[in-house]
Structure 1
Amino acid sequence: MSDAIEELMNAVTRLSNEEKKEFILRALPELGREAIKDPGFLPRLLPVILGLIRESGFDLNQLLQLANMLGGTAPTPGQD
């Protein structure tokens, strides 16, 4: 792992739980837009996201229902 990534990981780890949540909501959209430009990245990311969902105990069928209800109209985090 590069020094910059290690430094960033350490900084994020030191955040409070609320700060980590805010960081994820604010950083993920921008990071995601860049990352999905690489067609090989999404297949690597999806198992991570699905693993988090499974660990949370959230039912994947409920998640799909929620996604259908939102219909892609959810506001971008951080843009109130």
Structure 2
Amino acid sequence: MSDLAVRGVPLGLVERLNRARTIPLERYQVDGAIDRFGYLENLAADHGVTFETILTLVDVLGPEEDFDGLVTTLEDLPAGGF
């Protein structure tokens, strides 16, 4: 069933993002997310960028930058992302 998705994001991608997590799950939950995927979704919404922008950034920065470099990069982006 390759067409399974969470809010339009393929389930395989959701699983890959969560498996790549290097920061303890509790840290994501402190920020109000159930997992890394939820945290990344929230960041996209909070910063007014597409989820594709978030995916590009996490692929470049790596999971260890979820709460530092990723947030800083999002704050520095022009409105709407790149």
Taking structure 2 as the reference length, the TM-score comes to 0.30
Which of these two proteins has the greater Rg computed from alpha carbons? 1
Taking structure 1 as the reference length, the TM-score comes to 0.30
Q: Which has the higher contact order (CA 8 A, sep 6+)?
A: 1
Higher strand share goes to which structure? Answer: 2
